Structure 1
Amino acid sequence: MRLNGPGSFWPSLAGVLFAVAAAFVAAPVHAQDMQSAPSFVDNFSSFDRSRWYVSDGWSNGNHQNCIWSKDLVRLSDGVLSLSFEKRKLKDREFACAEIQTKQRFGYGVYEARMKTDTGSGLNAAFFTYIGPQDKKPWDEIDFEVLTKDPSKVQVNSYIQGKAKNGKLVDVDGGADKGFNDYGFVWEKDRLRWYVNGKLVNEVTNPDELPTNPQKIFFSLWGSDKLTNWMGAFADPGRKVTMQVKRIAFTALGQPCQFPESLACTITNSN
C-alpha cells in the first residue's frame, strides 16, 4: 500500500495530495490506448540503474517510522536485498529500503520471486503504483506481506485513492521460509492475483480495475502507528531483510520469457 506512494503517504503534504487524488477524474483508458514500457525480465545479475530508482533520504509520511536509505539496497549473487535496521536518520530511529522503476507499465503479467523476513509492525511489499505526484490519480496493485504473520500475504488494489479488493491469502510453507512466486495478470476487463501459480483473487467489476500505467515497486518499511493493520511495532534488534531473485513484466500478447512464467500458461481466455 502506498499511503504515500506502497504502502505509503506523501511527505508532509499527504492530506493535500490525497484530496487532489480524490478530486482527479481520469479519462477512460482503453486497451489500445494503454501506454506501457516493454516486457523485461530482471534476474539481478547486476543492478540496472537505467531501470531502477532507489529511494533515499525521505519517508512516505508520519505513519512510517523509518527513512528510506540507499545503503540498505544490496545485490549479491543474483539476489537483491532490501533491509530495515535501527539507525537514526533525520527524525526517525530506523532506516528502510525501497526501489521503483523509472518507467510505467500497463496491461500484462507481473511476477516477482521473493522471500521475506519476520517482525511485527513491518511490511514487505511488491506492488505497482502511480499517483498525484505523477499527475495521475492514485492507482495501485499490491502484494503485501505483513511480517507479523508471514504465513499470509495481503492482495489489494487502490482505484483513485480508494482501497478495493483486499484479501488475505495463504502462502504455503510461509513467505519467510523460502522463495515464493507472486504474480498478477492485469487486463482491461479483469485483474487476477496468483501465489505460486495458484489463483487467489479475481476482480472483474470495471469500477474496481486500475486504468493508469504504473511503476513497479519493492519496499520494506515499518510503522509504530498502523498497529491495527501491521501489528504493534517491536524493535527487531537486528537487520531485517527481504530478498528478491527475479522480477518480470510480460505485456499482454507477448511470448512468455522464462519457463516458470505465468505468461506461459495464463492467457486472456483462462
Structure 2
Amino acid sequence: MPIDAAKAVAAEPRSTKIAWGHKDVQLYHLGLGAGLPAADPEELRYTLESRLHVLPSFATVAGGGPGVVGGISLPGIDVDLASVLHGGQSLTPHRPLPVSGEAELTSKVAAVYDKGKAAILVLRSEAADDEGPLWTSDSQIFVRGEGGFGGDRGPSTRLPAPEGGPDLTVLRPVREDQALLYRLSGDWNPLHADPEFAALAGFERPILHGLCTYGMTLKAVVDTRLGGDVSRVRGYRTRFTGVVFPGETLRIRMWHADDRVRAEVTAVERDDAPVLSDTVVEHA
C-alpha cells in the first residue's frame, strides 16, 4: 500500500535549519497581493523593509517550508502528486515572527486518517530559535484513492453555520499571475503553473495555492478587524473546500465575536462557490 500509516507516524521527525530575510517576507506578502495601492502606508507595512512586519502565515513558507511535496516524501508515504490536495491548515504563532531569522524546523506525520475513498495526512511542523518556540503548523493533506485501510476516521473540523449576517464583507482580487509569483516562496507543485499537469489532476487550468488564499484571508482579517496589528494573531485555522483560479475574486465574509473572527471565503465569479470554510482567527 502506498501509505503505511503505522510506519509514517512512527518515523523519526526530520529536522533542518531554515533561515529567512526581509526579501523573503516581502516576496511572500507580494504573492498575497500586498502593495496595492503601492504608496498606501498600511500596505507599506507589508512591502517596505524599513516598516516591515510579518504576517503570521509566513510561517507556512519560511525557509521554503516542507510543503506538500516535502510531506509526501516522508517515510511510509509513496503517493502520486496528482492525487494530492491540501485539505486544511492550522497555525499557532508562539510569538511575533521576526523580519529575519534562523530556526530549527522539525517535521513529522502526526496522524493518518482513513476517510474511505481518501486518506488524510496530518503533517506537523514546529519551529524554534535561540529564544524558544516560534510556531506550530499542521497541514491536512487529502490523498485521493488511498483510504479504505481500516484506520481511524479522525476528528471532524466542521463548525456550526454562523448566526446572522456577517459583520463585514470584503472583496479581494486574485491577479492572473498570482500563483506564478506565490510559488517563488517555495511551493513548486506544478498544479499551480503547468496546464498539462493541472489537466492530469482534473482541472481545466492551473489553480491558486490553497495557502495563498489562506494568507490573503488572514491579511484581510488583520487589516480590517485587528487594526493592522499582526502581533494580535494567536491562532488561525481553515478547511479548504474549493479551488480558486487566478483572475477570480475572493469574497471574504467575517463574523467578529470576543477574541475570534470567523470567516467564510467564496469565489465571486462562480456564483460564490465555497473556497475556505470553518475559518477562525483567534486574537488578543
TM category (shorter chain) comes to: under 0.3
TM normalised by structure 1 equals 0.28
More strand by share: 1
- Structure having the higher Rg: 2
Greater RCO (CA < 8 Å, at least 6 residues apart): 1
TM-score if structure 2 supplies the norm length? 0.27
